[in-house]
Structure 1
Amino acid sequence: MRKLINQLLKFGLVGGIAFLIDYGLLFICTEWFGIYYFISSIISFSVSVIFNYIASVLWVFDVDQEKSKTKNFIIFIALSIVGLGINQIIMYYGVEVLNLYYMLIKLIATFIVMIFNFITRKMFLE
């Protein structure tokens, strides 16, 4: 139980930093560079995934060393693509259908994808 709590704390810290990268880049790409929010969201999510991969494999999860690093990376990327899909569906629905501010919807999308990420990475990477 102690190991799980420690892992959750590390996951939270890494996730918090990844969130700041994602949220900050979304805002910068959209507001400063005039990129459509939906494209900005893909860019920001992708950059945060790269950070998250490195930090998760090196520090958060006890990655199965018997699996090749290539296989672990492919699993991580596949799960991240699903997470991106979830993120984009929520972003589109929240902004285009509900007419809510994209930065508010990003908070909701991030929370949902964070839960998905922890569960699936724990299942498939350890």
Structure 2
Amino acid sequence: MGRVRKLIEQLMKFGIVGVIAFVIDYGLMNLLLMMHMHNILATSISFFVSLIFNYLASMKFVFKHRADMARWMEIAIFFTSSFIGWIINEVIVWISTSWMPHDSMYTMHTQYVIWTNIGKLVATAVVMVWNFVIRKWLLDDTHTNAMNRLRSDENKLTEEELEAKREKSFSHRLGMWSIEHAPFGWK
């Protein structure tokens, strides 16, 4: 039960960090939209501001540093996955208003803001799932235990089996490669 509790605590921390990042993202986006900024530019700016907060908070409070991965690789994975998340975000927001007239940010401002917010809500849900899965898989040092925690007691892997699984995992091999190739001691 202790491991399930830790997973639930991690999900709660991820959720709290996500809610704060959401408030930053939405607040800034809507402030920029009220100034008649194009929704793609507004959502890009707000996304990247909240991303900086999310990175700092996630690496401090949610995910543990992997001893088998260099910090530069953690940062590269975080920002690469975030870049993909940003593209997903922008495509969904663009779709949400692409059917409106070109000048709708001025002539239909209220509807433009509403549809942008609807698109942003959908994008937030999709990107949140993407971020958690990719970061849990590649950045969290406890990922090999995650599925084992959910197994019944008679089906759980032994410590030796877990260690063998961890050593064969893509994230471990990537991490070890990053340590071997860390520029100027960025381990």
Relative to the length of structure 2, the TM-score reads: 0.64
Map of 1:89-100 to 2, 5 A cutoff?
A: 89-97=91-99
Aligned position for 2:130: 116
Larger radius of gyration between Structure 1 and Structure 2: 2
1:47 correspondence with 2:55 = no
Unaligned runs of 5+ in 1: none
Paired AA for residue 119 in structure 1: V
State how far apart, in whole Å, the 2-side matches of 1:89 and 1:122 are.
24
Map of 1:73-88 to 2, 5 A cutoff?
A: 73-88=75-90
CA deviations over 1:44-72 (Å, ceiling 9, x no partner): 00011110000110110122133121111
Runs of 4+ aligned residues of structure 1 deviating over 4 Å after TM superposition are none
SS at match of 2:64: coil
SS at match of 1:101: helix
Map of 1:1-126 to 2, 5 A cutoff?
A: 1-32=4-35, 34-97=36-99, 101-126=115-140
State how far apart, in whole Å, the 1-side matches of 2:45 and 2:67 are.
30
CA-atom RMSD in angstroms: 1.5
State how far apart, in whole Å, the 1-side matches of 2:5 and 2:81 are.
26
Paired AA for residue 24 in structure 1: G
Paired AA for residue 111 in structure 1: A
Paired AA for residue 115 in structure 1: V
State how far apart, in whole Å, the 1-side matches of 2:25 and 2:67 are.
29
The percent identity for this pair of structures is 40
Structure 1 stretch 71-80 or stretch 57-66: which is displaced more? 57-66
Aligned position for 2:167: none
Paired AA for residue 122 in structure 1: K
SS at match of 1:118: helix
Relative to the length of structure 1, the TM-score reads: 0.93
Shift of 1:97: 3.5
Paired AA for residue 125 in structure 2: F
Paired AA for residue 121 in structure 2: L
Shift of 1:95: 1.4
Unaligned runs of 5+ in 2: 101-111, 141-187
Give the length in aligned residue pairs: 125
